Amino acid sequence: MTYRKRLAFLVFLDSFTVVAAIYLSYFIINPSKELLNPTIIISSLILLISHHVFASIYRLYKRAWEYASIKELLAIFNAVSLSAITTGVFQQIANQDVYVRILGITWLIHMVLICGTRLSWRIFRDLYYKVSSDNKRTLIIGAGMTGTMVVRQLLNNRQSKLSPVAFLDDDKKKHHLQIFGLPVAGGIDELEEVCRDLKIDTIILAIPSLNKRELNTIYKKCEETDMKVLTIPKMEDIMLGKVSSNEFKDVKVEDLLGREPVELDIEGITETISGKTILVTGAGGSIGSEICRQICRFSPSKIILLGHGENSIYQIDIELRNSFQEEIEIIPVIADIQDRERIFEVMEQYQPFVVYHAAAHKHVPLMEYNPREAVKNNIFGTKNVADAADAFGVNTFVLISSDKAVNPPNVMGATKRFAEMMIQHLSQKSSTKFVAVRFGNVLGSRGSVIPLFKKQIQSGGPVTVTHPEMTRYFMTIPEASRLVVQAGSLAQGGEIFVLDMGEPVKIIDLAKNLIKLSGYTSEEIGINFSGLRPGEKMYEELLNENEIHPQQVFPKIHIGKAALINEEALLNFMEDFPVLETGEIRGKLLDMANNRIKVTAAV
C-alpha cells in the first residue's frame, strides 16, 4: 500500500471511529434522544476536526503501527485526550450544554477504538509471523539490555529466519518473568533441559560483557545440546552502524581462544606516533598490515609501507588510502630487506621516527629445509634495517620476534633469537632505542594452523594434528599488533617485551572446536596424528624461567632479561656464513641461540 492510499485509509477510518464514538456515547446515556439533533452534529464536527489536527501533530498517520510500542500508545492518548478537551471548550464557548459524562464516555470509546484499530496491525503482524513462519525456534542467552534488543529486532524483522521463544539468564530475579511475551526460562545450568523442552533449534549468545573464559564455558555447555550457536556483533560495530544488532555471526575459534585484549596507553602511543613518519617493513604481511592499520589510528604524518611482494603492498596501500588518505601521506615502497644499499637509500630519503620491523621468514619446517635463506632474511635483513635506522637517527626500532626464539630447536627460532641479540648489542652503542617484541602464534595469519584446518574440513577431512599433547600460545592479529605498537611507546632501549599470554592451548582442542564450529563432528571429519615436523617443539615458551621479570611494566606486558652472546661470536658467524655448509649453519645458529657459546652480561 502506497503512503497516499495508506493516509486516505487512516483518515477515513479515524473519521468513522470519531463519529461512532460520540454517537455511541449519546446513545448509552440517553437511548431515546434524537441522534440527529444539532448539538450532536456540531459536537461530532468539532471532535472530528480536533482529532485530525492533533493526530497530525502527534504523527498518528506517519507511524508504522505494525511496530507499535508504548510511545505510540502515549501519542494516541495525547491526541484523543486533547481532542476531547477541545470539544468541551468549544461547546462552552458556543453556549452549548456540556455533558461531562457524555464527553467522558466519548473519550473512552474513542480511545478504545483508535487503539484497537492501530494495535490490530501489530497483532495481525505478530500472529501472521508466528503462524505462517517455519523459522528456527531460538533461545536467547542473556535477558539484559542486549538480549531484549536482539528479541525486539527479531520480532520486528519479517525476513528473519529466527523466531525467539525464550530467554536464559543467571539473574534469578528475572526467572519466571516475561519479556516481550517470552519467558525467562531459567539459568545457564538449565540450558540442556530448556532446549529439549522448548524444542530449540538455535541459540544466540547475547551477553557482550563475557570475557574469553566465560564465553568458552558457556559455549561448551551449548556444544552439549548440538544446537546451532550464534553470537552478536561487537557493540562498537553496532553503535558505529557497521552492522545491525540482528546480523548475527557464528561463534569463531578466535572468540574462544586467545585472551582478553590489552588496553593501550593511548596518550603514550599518540606521543610516539602522532605527526611522525613511521616505517613498517613486511607491511603487506598479516602482522605488518595490521600494524599499519593500528598505527594509522594515531595519525602519523607519513607511513612508509615497505615490502618485497608488490601485490600484498598494493592491497594494504589501497586499503589504507580508502580510509586515511585525507589525513595521512601513505607511501608504498617495494624493497628487499636483503638489499642493504636499497634499505639505506629508503631510510635516508624518508627519515622515519619509528621503524617496525615485521619482515621475516617465519615458516618453521620450510626454514629447516632452507637455513641459508632464513639467515639471509632474518639475520642479514634485520641487520641491514637496524644499521640503517642507527645511521639515520631513527628514534625507535621495534623488532617483531617470536616465542620460538626461546630455547630454539629449529632454524627459524634461532634466527629470531640471533636477531634479538644483534639489536640488543646495537642498542648499547646507538642513540636509537632498539627493542624486540615476543609473542606466540597468531590466529588467522598466513602461517597459522587455522587456515590449513579449514581447508582440510572443507575438503571433507581428515584434519591433521601433529601430536595429541602438542600445545601452543595463541593471540589474535589485532592484539599482537597493538602490543607491538605499545612496545614502541614503552621502549627505553635493549628490552625484549613479552605478552602475558595466559594458558597454552592444545592443538587437538583447537581442531575439535574448529570442526564443531564448521557444523561437523570429529567422527565425520576425522583427526589424524602425523608426528612432529622438522624443527617443531611439543611445547613452546615465551621466556626461560631465568629470563623473566615478574613485575609487569604495563598491564599484561613483561620485560625479559635474556642473556647476551659475545658480540664477536655473532660477527664471526656472519663473516663465516658464506662459506659454511648447510649443516654447519644450523649447528652454529643453534649453539649461539641456546647460549652454548660464552655468555656476557644479561640485559
Active site positions, annotated: 404
Q: C-alpha grid cell for residue 178?
A: 516475561
Nearest to 448 by CA among 420, 410, 470, 477: 477
- DSSP code of 169? -
Q: How many CB atoms lie within 10 A of CB 408?
A: 24
Q: Using CA atoms, how far apart are residues 453 and 456, in angstroms rounded to an integer?
A: 5
**What residues pair up with 167 in beta bridges, in sequence order?**
140, 184
Q: Using CA atoms, how far apart are residues 59 and 74, in angstroms rounded to an integer?
A: 12
Contact (Cβ atoms closer than 8 angstroms) between residue 347 and residue 315: no
Q: What share of the chain is helix, strand, coil (3-state, %, to 5)?
A: 50, 15, 35
Q: C-alpha grid cell for residue 263?
A: 588496553
**What residues pair up with 166 in beta bridges, in sequence order?**
139
79: phi then psi, degrees, rounded to nearest 5: -65, -45
Q: Give strand ranges (E) for 335-477.
A: 354-357, 396-400, 433-438, 441-443, 463-465, 471-472, 474-476
Q: Using CA atoms, how far apart are residues 286 and 292, in angstroms rounded to an integer?
A: 10
Q: Using CA atoms, how far apart are residues 262 and 265, in angstroms rounded to an integer?
A: 10
Q: Using CA atoms, how far apart are residues 412 and 447, in angstroms rounded to an integer?
A: 13
Q: How many CB atoms lie within 10 A of CB 509?
A: 14
CA distances from 286 to 164, 276, 315, 362, 442 (A): 39, 23, 12, 12, 9
CA distances from 549 to 2, 561, 562 (A): 71, 7, 10
Contact (Cβ atoms closer than 8 angstroms) between residue 73 and residue 112: no
Q: C-alpha grid cell for residue 421?
A: 641479540
Q: Using CA atoms, how far apart are residues 172 and 158, in angstroms rounded to an integer?
A: 32
Cis check: omega of the bond before 31, within 30 degrees of 0: no
